[in-house]
Amino acid sequence: MKIAFISDIHGNLEALQTALKVIDNRRVDEVICLGDIVGYGANPAECLDLVRSVASRTVLGNHDASVSGQEGLDYFNDFARAAVTWTQSMLTSDQMEYLRSLPLSLQLEHLHLVHGTPGNPQKWEYIFSSYDAARQFSFICGKVCFVGHSHVPGDYHEKWRDHLSSTEDRVTDAPSSRRIVNIGSVGQPRDRDPRLCFVVYDTEMDHVEFVREEYNVEAAAGKIRRAGLPEFLADRLLWGW
Ligand code: ZN
């Protein structure tokens, strides 16, 4: 079975449409969204409807939670806060209700799906590095945990944790060791590569493919500027950071 994992779309319709076109060509069996459909970009409503129509399962992201009133705005920087407030004015009550219906995490056979971290989904902690991942392996239900949130793709294996600590003599290459895959961001990549990012996972082969694709980033940035959203949110799409 092949699953396409998409995350952190952030209202970027151009990126989402391109990602879904690529996914269509890959003939995957299922599309799963790891949250943050909205926030930052100029087409939150359109992205929400599209994700709702293609994704079999979706978990809640921190922007989805704030936009739909489940979380306060204190946590956010000025740019994110401005985008959340603007996004709230763009969604219908039905769309808000949909965001409020999303679970914080999901279990799918041996797969654990969450926006931030398996250890504490509500705290919205980030996984940027193997150091961040090392603290999370013990919280995984199953074998593989797919996350989003940091917008930085990464593939972390549990045995790396053991190599980190010289005091720990549990160095293991056991094939059953757990794994965290950060699938990166469709709508606002932050690894200095402006191309959209998502993952195609082959469940039988346990194979993770990171897909990068160019999309009309200028169009997405132009819409952000015309909507009166912070200029920085348009610029960072072009930088991929
Ligand atoms: Zn995000």
Instruction: State yes or no: pLDDT of 165 exceeds 60.
Output: no
Gap between the Cα atoms of 143 and 145, Å rounded: 7
Task: Tell me how far the alpha carbon of residue 80 lies from the centroid of ligand 1, in angstroms.
Answer: 10
Task: Tell me how far the alpha carbon of residue 188 lies from the centroid of ligand 1, in angstroms.
Answer: 8
The pLDDT value recorded for residue 170 is: 52
The pLDDT value recorded for residue 189 is: 98
Task: Tell me how far the alpha carbon of residue 174 lies from the centroid of ligand 1, in angstroms.
Answer: 33
Which is nearest to 52 in space by CA: 81, 22, 79, 92? Answer: 92
φ, ψ for residue 97, nearest 5 deg: -60, -40
The pLDDT value recorded for residue 159 is: 74
Integer CA distances (angstroms), 86 to 111, 210, 224, in order: 35, 32, 11
- What share of the chain has pLDDT > 90, as a percent? 90
Q: What is the pTM for the complete model shown?
A: 0.93
Q: Does domain 2-239 have CATH number 3.60.21.10?
A: yes
Region 66-95: mean pLDDT is 94
Q: Is 5:32 a contact under the CB 8 Å cutoff?
A: yes
Gap between the Cα atoms of 61 and 67, Å rounded: 10
The secondary structure of 162-198, three-state, reads HHHCCCCCCCCCCCCCCEEEECCCCCCCCCCCCCEEE
Region 205-233: mean pLDDT is 97
Task: Tell me how far the alpha carbon of residue 64 lies from the centroid of ligand 1, in angstroms.
Answer: 9
The contacts of residue 40 (CB under 8 Å, 6+ apart) are 10, 11, 12, 63, 79, 80, 83, 187, 188, 224, 229, 233
Gap between the Cα atoms of 138 and 193, Å rounded: 31
103-144 per-position pLDDT tens digit: 999 999 999 999 999 999 999 999 999 999 999 999 999 999
Gap between the Cα atoms of 40 and 120, Å rounded: 24
Task: Tell me how far the alpha carbon of residue 127 lies from the centroid of ligand 1, in angstroms.
Answer: 12
Tell me how far the alpha carbon of residue 121 is from its chain's centroid: 13
Read off the pLDDT band of 235 (50, 70, 90). very high
Region 25-30: mean pLDDT is 96
Task: Tell me how far the alpha carbon of residue 207 lies from the centroid of ligand 1, in angstroms.
Answer: 24
Region 235-239: mean pLDDT is 97
Structure tokens at 64: 């989805």
Q: Name the least confident of 10-19, 39-48, 76-85.
A: 76-85
148-163 per-position pLDDT tens digit: 999 999 999 997 444 4
Query: CB-based burial of residue 156 (10 Å sphere; 0-12 exposed, 13-18 middle, 19+ buried)?
Result: buried
Task: Tell me how far the alpha carbon of residue 36 lies from the centroid of ligand 1, in angstroms.
Answer: 5
